[in-house]
Amino acid sequence: MPGIPTIAGALLALVAGATAAQPPYSPGGWPTLHYDAGNRRAVPTSVLDNQYTTWSALPGASVLTSPVTSPDGEVLYVATGRAPGHANLQALSLDGELLWQSEPWQDADTGVDACAILSSPIVDTEGDIYLGDCNQLFAFKPNGALKWVIDLPPPTPHDWRAAGKHPVNALTTAAFTTGGHIVGVTNFGDVTVVDRTTGKQLNLPFRLPSVPSPYADTYSMPDSLLGGGLMDANFREWAWQVIFAGNMRSANTPAVARSGRVLVVGSSDRPGIGALFGLDIDHSVTPYIVRVAFATDIGIGSGSSPALSPDEKQVYVSDEAGWLYAIDSSLGNIVWKVETAAAAGAAAVGPDGRVYALQVYPAPAIIAVSDAGEVLWESDTAPLLADMPRSRLLGEPIVVANGNPTVTADALLVPVILGYRIGFLGFNVAVRSTLAALDLQTGKAIKGLVDLVDDSSGITAVLPGGTLVNSLGGLQTSAASPISPVMNVILPGDSHMLPPTGGIQVSTPRHR
C-alpha cells in the first residue's frame, strides 16, 4: 500500500519544486547509465538513414552497463569487472585509442574493484567522472588523475556476505542531485549524499526501511556464465543476485526529479515484495536528513530502475511478475498497472509519454504502453529472421531481446540475438546479434541497424552525431558456450554459435 506522505516531506517537495534545477550532468551525449536524471533513455537523434563503420575494444572483459561520454562527446568511459591486477575503468577515444585507465586493483582498498561491472560512471559538467565499486566511491579528473576516493557505508553483520572477506555494499550507478551533489543507494539500502567537490558525506546515515529480498533462485546461474576472465569469478554470484535483485534491498539506479525528489526501487518492509521509495533530502539542517515521502509496494522483485514521465507526474516501474506500474511521483499512489511479460528492468520513455518495456522470451521483445495505461502494441521482430534457415533438429529460428530499449527520433532500438531454442536445456543459442530498429508507431522491425560481435546484455547509448555505443556483456553467449562443439555441428547451413568476447562496440556514421 502507498505510504502516507509526512507533512515535512510534502513541504520539502513543494519548496524543491519552486526552485527546480537540473542535476549537473555533462552535456556531452550520454553522461549516465539511462541517459538522463529521469532514466528515460530518449534522445532527439535520428539513426535510420545512417551507414555505419564499427570497431570494438576491450575484448575479454564483460561490459554490462552503458559506457558514458566526456562533455565534448569525444571520450568514452567504460567500467569492467576483471580480477585483481586489472584496471576496471578505461577512457577511450571515439576512434578506439586507450587514453588512460585506473590503477589496477589489488584489494578492497586499492583501485577500482570488480563490482564496477554493474555501476556505470557518471560525468558532470566539468568532465569529472564518478564511479562506485564494492566498497568505495571514486572521483577522477578528465585526465585520469584521482580527485578523491571515499568508503561507502559498510555492510552490517546481518547483511549477506556477497564475496567472502571482501566487503560488498556497492552502488548500482550513482546519480546527481539537483543541488549538485552525488546520491547513491547501496545494495543493502544505505542512502549516501556526497559533496562532489570534496568527497565529504553530507547526510546522516540512513537505510531504506525494508527487509532484504529473498535469494534469487528462479534461474540457476550457469557454471560457465562470464567465465574465462570476462569477470572476476569471486563476484559472479553477487552479480547474478544484483541482476535479479536477490538477497539485497536495492539493485538499481535512482531517478532524480526536477523537484529534487529521489526515486528508487527497493525491497518492501514486507517480505518478498518490492517497493518504490520517494525520498526527500532536507538541506535545511547539517548534516542533511533523508526522509521517506512515500513507499509504495509493488509485486515481487525490486530490480527495476524507475523512469519518469516527461512531465514527471508519473514514474514507471515493473516487477518480476510482469506488472508495469505508473505511480504518482508526488503522492505515491498507483495510477494504473498493466499485466505484461515485462522483465524487472528499466523502461524507456519517449518524449510523447509512451512507455517501452523489455519483455521476457517467448513474449514479443517490447511492449509499448501509453501514459494512460493503454497497451499500444507488442513488437513484431519476424522480419529480422528473413534470411535465417529453419533447423531440422531445432525448428524455427527465434529472436530474443537481450538489452533495454533506447528511444531515438525515428526508431526504437533494442539489442537482440537471432538463433535457436533448445527447449529441454532451457538455452537460447545465438548465431547472430544485432541492434534492431523498431517502428515507433507499430513496433514492427524495420531492420537490423548494425550487427554486434557478441550479445549486448545492456543499453545502447546514442550520441548526438548518431554514433552508437553498445556494451557487450556476453551473458547468453558465455552461459551457452559449453555446448558450442555439439551445436556447431548440428546448426543449419554454415551457422555457428557466437563466441563470448565481451568489450564494447562503437558504430560511427560514415559521414562523421
Nearest to 287 by CA among 207, 206, 204, 208: 204
Only one residue has cell 506488472, namely 323
The confidence score (pLDDT) of residue 220 equals 86
- What amino acid is encoded at 206 in this protein? F
Q: Is the pLDDT of residue 485 over 80?
A: yes
**Total Cβ atoms within 10 A of residue 96:** 14
Distance between CA atoms of residues 189 and 47, nearest Å: 39
Query: Whole-angstrom Cα distance, residue 74 to residue 28?
Result: 8
Mean pLDDT within 303-307: 89
Is 18 within 8 Å of 118 (Cβ atoms)?
A: no
Q: What is the pLDDT of residue 12?
A: 37
- CB 76, CB 67: distance < 8 Å: yes
pLDDT higher than threshold 60 for residue 2: no
pLDDT averaged over every residue in the chain? 93
Secondary structure tally for the chain: helices H, strands E:
4, 33
What's residue 137's pLDDT?
98
User: Do the beta carbons of residue 245 and residue 216 sit within 8 Å?
Assistant: yes
pLDDT digit string, tens, across residues 99-146:
999 999 999 999 999 999 999 999 999 999 999 999 999 999 999 999
Q: 3-class SS at 481?
A: helix
pLDDT band at residue 285 under the 50/70/90 scheme:
very high
| 255-256 and 274-282 strand pairing | unpaired
Please check whether residue 1 lies inside any domain of the structure: no
Residue 1 confidence (pLDDT): 37
Residue 52 lies in a domain: no
Q: Is residue 271 scored above 70 in pLDDT?
A: yes
Which parts of 167-284 fold into alpha helices (H)?
236-243
Structural domains of the chain, count: 1
Which CATH number belongs to the domain containing residue 235 in this structure?
Answer: 2.140.10.10
pLDDT for residue 19 is more than 70: no
255, three cell numbers = 531517478
Q: Using CA atoms, how far apart are residues 501 and 473, in angstroms rounded to an integer?
A: 8
Tens digits of residue pLDDT in 308-356:
999 999 999 999 889 999 999 999 999 999 999 987 678 999 999 999 9
Task: Output the pLDDT for position 302.
Answer: 65
Q: What is the domain extent for residue 404?
A: 7-45+59-509
The CA distance from 183 to 17, in Å, is: 18
What average pLDDT does the segment 146-170 reach? 95
Q: What is the mean pLDDT of residues 456-476?
A: 96
Average pLDDT for 183-199: 97
Q: Is the pLDDT of residue 17 over 50?
A: no
Contact 348, 255 (CB under 8 A): no
Distance of CA 175 to the CA centre of its chain: 13
pLDDT at site 208: 97
Domain assignment present for residue 51? The answer is: no
| DSSP tag of 475 | H
Q: Cell numbers of 177, please?
A: 542531485
Mean pLDDT of 349-371: 96
CB 356 within 8 A of CB 325: no
* Predicted local confidence at residue 345, as pLDDT: 78
Indicate whether 58 pLDDT > 70. Answer: yes
Question: Which of 291-305, 396-410, 466-480 has the weakest average pLDDT?
Answer: 291-305
Query: Environment class of residue 451 by beta-carbon count within 10 Å: exposed (0-12), middle (13-18) or buried (19+)?
Result: middle
pLDDT band at 237 (very low <50, low <70, confident <90, very high): very high
Q: What is the largest CA-CA distance in the chain?
A: 70
Q: Where are the alpha helices (DSSP H) in 396-499?
A: 475-480, 484-490
Q: How far is CA 29 from CA 75, 124, 427, 450, in A?
A: 10, 12, 36, 20
pLDDT, one tens digit per residue, over 199-217 is 999 999 999 999 998 888 8
- The pLDDT, as a whole number, for residue 287 is 98
CA distance 500 to 429: 12
Residue 50 lies in a domain: no
**What per-residue confidence (pLDDT) applies to 20?**
56
Secondary structure of residue 476 in the 3-state scheme: helix
